[in-house]
Structure 1
């Protein structure tokens, strides 16, 4: 039996769920917390009753292909939740899957309090999702103040917790990373962050790896580092069997913020990690590519912003960090941007200053997101 039940379907949600659970158990150690998740939840002793690996898909067409798995897993998740008889269920990120789980739990156990931890990007894509979510869950814990107005007409209780990435880990130790890796003050280093989903390793990582290699060809003294996410590390090494010939491969451990801070340029697949890089004020180049059907639908019908990186979106949709998306995701273009930064006097310092100023729009000196989320969840538990 469980008092609170978490469901996390992907790597970023798994990490956030872990952080929130740790706060909950610190404050209320007698509570029974169970969950469905991955390696992060397992690391704190929460064993998942189902394997969520099939949910690591990306895009509309990929989602259709995996639809059968999504439905089966939603059914299995609902079964596991109902069997545990929790008072509160927390559904972390992953809009489509969590909506299905919520609907199934609501139909079978209407007394259970449903909390959605991180909502869909209604301010960037389909605002109609606000009505759908409001009809399905009891409480939304969202990242940004701008989201609240979308839900107010539908009466959904909403709590702004901030961006979890901005209160995660703090500033890395640039000097320690560079000392540990034998980098002198004037040495230049590029860090590649190739993504955390299978589709990102297949579609985005090759351009980032090739771009970094191209930079090294132009500027041979440049040191290259890559840090694949643990969730896709096996696929990454299968896809790039010779990566260690040119790159220093970093583990996905506690030193990742040091690596972000220690690099002179980060080449990253778009995602939560870009907010973490932004904290370090390291110049970053963002890449992203999805299936063409997904892209056509997003650009034609769904996505209302010019940019995809949060640092850019929340700064009046201006390109602070350069983006190379879809047709622009070309290794030569990415490499050319990096070479310009490395060759032009003051270019890296200017980019750091631009990103630092833009970061002020994302970052507030306040309680960490995980603490605010835990407090809201415990309030729901007390009222259940």
Structure 2
């Protein structure tokens, strides 16, 4: 195996995309950098083939994590071997807290000279602040999204760089008019978009409520046009779970037009996650839903999670309900549909929601430089220091 200057590890789809963006920024600065990585399709598309299949790590929830623990340990061991063999100056660990912590500890033990950079930290401001001490003892540098994270790490001396939210740097403004024209939507038509999630567990637990809610909206307001856009990572799972979706929905499969679809929607029903920040950027009024396993939920609400809301736009705006959330026991199709119907039927309601989300979004938009570029600069500094 050839040696590397910088080695990336991304265990999930969102991390794979972020790793690609940062690598492209690094190559734009120094084309001679030798970069290798473990990841998925996004890294493969830019010529970085993963020596390890990381797909078993796409798990969600406490029980699911326990069931996959054996896979996590085996993959962490295997990843450590290939990283140490490549002998990079810097390893960049992208997202995926549990797996990356185990990997970092193994790499540190076997090759302490390698500098470890964590790209996106755990949400210590929302749950389990003690992880800040654990991370500080394991890596050399944290690249985090928000200013509110920094004070958690300062007591432990971890070097921290705020890069902003990567989702807010992507894609620019979608083409609302073009999308609506291509799909035969007039100015007076109402378009409802469902974003059902990016993980198998989300397609199983969240998507059914969102799809049924959309159908209820159309039943109440027959002129509503329904669209659904499964994430590429869950497209096959979605098709298997909803084989008859095309009878009521226009199923969108072109990922290059995802921001157009968001911008064109009058209402978005979204599974909680990174996508909610992207929807906010496109100015679409949204309703968020989420449901996880009951053991995970009980632990989170009883012991771990310290915030009232789960949507980033809400959390960073003083934990207030800017975006309506229907979570766990409240994730009922009729409740979600009722909120959407009230917006569509009440004059000015959709515009007021757009304005509220737009105002809240200013709390997230602090950097003009894309997050991937800021991350690349910090990683290069670590490489040069090494």
TM-score (norm 1): 0.99
| d(CA) in 1 for partners of 2:367, 2:378 | 19
CA contact (8 A) 1:37 1:48 kept: yes
Q: Distance in 2 between matches of 1:234 and 1:282?
A: 26
CA distance in 1 between counterparts of 2:214 and 2:85 reads 50
Which position in structure 1 is the counterpart of 2:382? Answer: 380
CA distance in 2, matches of 1:43, 1:189: 33
2:303 aligned residue = 301
Which residue, 198, 215, 218 being the options, matches 2:217?
215
SS in 2 for 1:224: strand
Residue 15 of structure 2: aligned partner? 13
Q: CA deviation at 1:365?
A: 4.5
CA contact (8 A) 2:164 2:367 kept: no
Please name the residue that 1:167 is paired with.
169
Post-superposition Cα deviations, 1:302-360, rounded to whole Å, max 9, x if no partner, equal 00000000000000000001000000001111011111011111110111111011111
Which residue among 344, 360, 363 is the counterpart of 1:361? 363
Q: Quote the Cα distance in structure 2 between the aligned partners of 1:252 and 1:360.
A: 29
> Equivalences for 1:134-283 in 2 at 5 Å?
134-283=136-285
Alpha-carbon separation, structure 2, partners of 1:81 and 1:182: 51
Any gaps of 5 or more consecutive residues in structure 1?
none
> Residue 47 of structure 2 aligns with which residue?
45
What secondary structure sits across from 1:107 in the alignment? helix
Describe the shift of the 1:76–1:252 C-alpha distance in structure 2 as closer, same or farther (beyond 3 A).
farther
Name the counterpart of 2:122: 120
Per-residue CA distance 1:185-215 (angstroms, 9 max, x = gap):
0100011111111110110011111111111
Structure 2: distance between partners of 1:252 and 1:291? 31
Distance in 1 between the 2:79 and 2:254 partners?
A: 28
Question: Secondary structure in 2 aligned to 1:89?
Answer: strand
Cα distance in structure 2, aligned partners of 1:372 and 1:72: 33
Aligned residues of 2:314 and 2:321 also touching (Cα < 8 A): yes
CA distance in 2, matches of 1:274, 1:98: 24
SS of 1:271's partner is coil
**Alignment match of 1:28 (pick from 11, 27, 30):** 30
Q: What do the CA deviations read for 1:160-198 (whole angstroms, capped 9, x no partner)?
A: 000111111121111111111110001000111111111
Moved segments of 4+, more than 4 Å: none
Verify the 8 A CA contact 1:228 1:252 in the aligned structure 2: no
SS in 2 for 1:22: helix
Q: Is the 8 A contact 1:229 1:252 kept in 2?
A: no
The CA deviation string for residues 252-292 of structure 1, in whole angstroms up to 9 with x for no partner, is: 52211111000001111000000000111110000000000
Q: Quote how far apart the aligned CAs of 1:249 are.
A: 1.0
1 CA distance for matches of 2:351 and 2:224?
17
Corresponding position of 1:336: 338
Give 5+ residue unaligned stretches, structure 2. Answer: none
CA deviations 1:226-273 (Å, max 9, x no partner) are 111111111110000001111111125221111100000111100000
- 2:112 corresponding residue in structure 1: 110
Contact 1:8–1:37 under 8 Å retained in 2: yes
Deviation at 1:52, TM superposition (A): 1.1
How far off its partner does 1:45 sit? 1.0
Number of residue pairs the alignment of both structures matches: 384
Mapped to 2, the partners of 1:37 and 1:302 lie a distance apart of 29
CA distance in 2, matches of 1:72, 1:263: 43
Displacement, 1:364? 2.2
Distance 2:53 2:337 in 1: 38
Distance 1:33 1:211 in 2: 45
Q: Which secondary structure state, in structure 2, belongs to the residue aligned with residue 255 of structure 1?
A: helix
Mapped to 1, the partners of 2:234 and 2:125 lie a distance apart of 30
For 2:210 and 2:56, locate their aligned partners in 1 and report how far apart those are by CA, in whole Å.
Answer: 25
